[in-house]
Structure 1
């Protein structure tokens, strides 16, 4: 059903993989979807200022992983994150050991981000 994700079907993909037993409506789902925007904003600020808020990023990614599962959350993260931020995103997913094995082999991880994560 979701061989190719597009702007038109990404929301259906997210809804299908959303697992939150305590969710009380669409507004809570939309609040959880805003985490993708927060992650995108944090990566953009890192590129602009060089300041990485690794703990905040880890928290958002872990929550998304808990809500959508490892495969769907990583798929949604890569879809919603600009390609220029994929090395940083890949570093976080590898650190958390939730990066799908055969996905984006050609994208190199960001070594400085990996170093910061290893220092935690």
Structure 2
């Protein structure tokens, strides 16, 4: 099956179709979960600018996103919403959690390197 890449027109519909939080009682909770992507982006930027990695917080956000969007949906959403400059950080965390799918239309995963500093930090957990 050929998957269409996410874009600004189909993103929310895709996210809603992937969303599977049985305890969700309102649309606000859906958007709260989507806001976790912003938090991850901020944490990646902080690591990029200051070298300050909050790996446990990033892992927690990614685990929650995976729980509510599923592994493939979570990966596609993250690679679409997070800037390309941070894709190596993202790939490293997703590989560590074993959430990285073989292929997604939003990114060429084979060409994205992993971050050795993050790998070392995660191996120390």
**Both proteins in one fold, TM over 0.5:** yes
TM-score for the superposition, normalised by structure 1: 0.96
Q: What SS is found at the alignment partner of 1:105?
A: helix
Structure 2: runs of 5+ lacking an equivalent: none
After superposition, residues 41-80 of structure 1 pair within 5 angstroms as 41-80=42-81
After superposition, the CA RMSD in angstroms is: 1.3
Unpaired runs of 5+ in structure 1? none
Q: Over residues 73-110 of structure 1, what are the superposed CA-to-partner deviations in whole Å (9 max), with x where a residue is unaligned?
A: 00000001100000011000000011112451111100
Relative contact order (alpha carbons < 8 A, sep ≥ 6): 1 or 2 greater?
A: 2
User: How far apart, in 2, do the equivalents of 1:102 and 1:12 lie?
Assistant: 21
Distance 1:25 1:83 in 2: 31
Return structure 1 stretches of 4+ with deviation > 6 angstroms.
Answer: none
What TM-score do you get using the length of structure 2 for normalisation? 0.92
Partners of 1:33 and 1:75 lie apart in 2 by 13
Q: How many residues were matched structurally?
A: 120
CA–CA distance in 1 between the matches of 2:111 and 2:5?
A: 20
What is the Cα deviation at residue 4 of structure 1? 2.5
The corresponding residue for 2:119 is: 114
